[in-house]
Amino acid sequence: MIRPLLSRWQKIRALVSLLGFVSLICIYYFFILQPSLKSLSECRNALSSEESSVVLPSQQNISEESIKEELSNLKKQKKNLDALFVREKNIPPLTRTLRNLSKKNNMDLRNSVKVSVSGQQGHFVKAECSLTAIGKYEDAIQFLYALAEEGCIIQKADMSIIADGGDEQSVKLSLSMSYYRYNK
């Protein structure tokens, strides 16, 4: 009698192992591989639609002259913007600037200037400032104009002009502001 190669229990074990292996492959395919392939195809479709919407420079009607003209316009704009900022290495402190402006415009600061420097922000130095000045109304207006022309950026300015009790034309100017000055 010829003996079979595998016993009945060995055949059952091999069949169960084969079914387990096939079920693991099916689980991997349906729950891991197929969703990954689906998202990959969606990404490829999105990329191909983006590529079709890109206009290449060869497809545009850009001439060298128009580029040179735009470059010269941008250089003029840069020159105009550079003229607005003071670009000195040793910029005088804000307190000295305010005192000089007050003397030129006949305003009395009475040692009321309070400056706290917040620090460097990019190419600018930021300072918080508050002051109280007394003088004529016209001098107060000239002082504010001179401050605006000083080559700085003023943000968040709170200002009040109140008639001073002593003289009819005398006013009290209270000003608090955030002050930005260009610094190389």
Per-residue model confidence as pLDDT tens digits over 134-146: 888 888 889 888 8
46, β-bridge pairs: none
The CATH superfamily label for domain 94-182 reads Ribosomal protein S6/Translation elongation factor EF1B (3.30.70.60)
- Tell me the average pLDDT across 69-76: 91
Could you give the CA distance from residue 92 to residue 27 in angstroms, rounded to a whole number? 74
Position 59 pLDDT exceeds 60: no
Say if residue 104's pLDDT is above 70.
Answer: yes
E strand or H helix that includes residue 156: strand 152-163
pLDDT in tens, 1-50: 567 788 888 889 999 999 999 999 999 999 988 988 898 899 888 888 88
What pLDDT is recorded for position 91? 46
The pLDDT of 71-88, averaged and rounded, is: 75
Structural domain boundaries of the chain? 94-182
What local confidence, expressed as pLDDT, does residue 88 receive? 45
pLDDT at 180: 77
The angle formed by the CA atoms of residues 138, 113 and 94, to the nearest 5 degrees, is 90
* Residue that is written with structure tokens 């104009």 in the block: 145
Q: Please indicate whether residue 13 or residue 150 has the higher confidence score (pLDDT).
A: 13
pLDDT computed for residue 24 by the predictor = 94
Residue 169 has pLDDT above 90, yes or no: no
Of 26 and 167, more confident: 26
pLDDT of residue 7: 85
- For residues 114 and 130, the answer to whether their CB atoms sit within 8 Å is yes
Between 34 and 98, name the one with better pLDDT. 34
Helical H runs in the chain?
Answer: 8-28, 34-53, 64-82, 94-104, 137-148
